[in-house]
Amino acid sequence: MGTRTVGSFVLLLTMFLVAFSGVFVTTSVTHAASNSAITYTAFAPTISRTNIAGNYTGSYTLAGTYMVNPIDILITQTNATLGGTTNESGTISANTGTMSSSGNFFLVELWNGSGNSTLSGSLVGAGHIEGTWVSGSASGTWDVTFVPTISGHYTGSWTQDGISGTFPMQIQVTQVGSLLGGITTEFGSTSNNAGRINPDGSFDIVENWGGGSAFLIGTFSTPGHPSGTWGSGTVSNGSSGTWDVTAS
């Protein structure tokens, strides 16, 4: 009796399908000489690419110096196409780039008339990207870690200590890396906001109201539901209370 290899064949076939996942595409063409349709089927492999979309914060270095500079970056991704924004101490770039099938990628930072920089990098751990950069004759390294994304529109209310009742509020949060911005609307007035989110998801936002400011400290009790405390003025002569909003 011959050797039975059905099990090995199934294993090899399974390995092939895992390694080369994709779809079979059927195409019909017309043969010019006979004017008859010819149908053929071909396998179109699907390339699996590392997804790095999200917000990151960290630092970059300049070769030949001891300087360590902050960098915050928002990365968007659609298949192999990357985009997003970089904020380096208030200087902002618009980014474009490509992710390879190996997991390596590059991003070109366009600095609005001030030239461009190219970041090369890869994931070195969960939510941790490292790489190198070059801009003209300058070069260095960069290293960032993932922070939660909380950008969006939220609606809810706030309370003030010593005063009964709740008051409506709406807040629009923008985000690049760990840096937060946006506006708050209360009773028809609007503030300009700036803040920062931490890796654990806690955050603070300063609302600039023109004639004064208030600060919000918050966390997410559940997804899409941040809440916390607020304060304004001084410790001895100020106001405080709570706030609670939901994504809308």
Cβ-in-10-Å burial (0-12, 13-18, 19+) of 105 comes to buried
- Please, which pLDDT band fits residue 211 given cuts at 50, 70 and 90? confident
Tokens describing residue 41: 């089927």
Residue range 152-247 forms a domain whose CATH class is mainly beta
Domain boundaries, the chain: 54-147, 152-247
pLDDT, tens digit (0-9, with 9 covering 90-100), for 119-164? 999 999 999 999 999 999 999 999 999 999 999 999 999 999 989 9
Enumerate residues 6+ apart whose C-beta is below 8 A from 71: 57, 58, 59, 60, 86, 87, 88, 142, 144, 177
pLDDT, tens digit (0-9, with 9 covering 90-100), for 75-103? 999 999 999 999 998 999 999 999 999 99
CATH number of 54-147: 2.40.128.120
What is the dihedral sign for C-alpha 142, 145, 149, 150?
Answer: negative
pLDDT, tens digit (0-9, with 9 covering 90-100), for 34-47? 555 555 455 444 45
Cβ-in-10-Å burial (0-12, 13-18, 19+) of 172 comes to middle
What is the dihedral sign for C-alpha 95, 100, 105, 108?
Answer: negative
In order of 36, 148, 149, 207, 219, the CA distances from 200 in angstroms are 65, 8, 11, 22, 9
- Please, which pLDDT band fits residue 112 given cuts at 50, 70 and 90? confident
In this structure, which amino acid lies at residue 82?
L
Matching fold, domains 54-147 and 152-247: yes
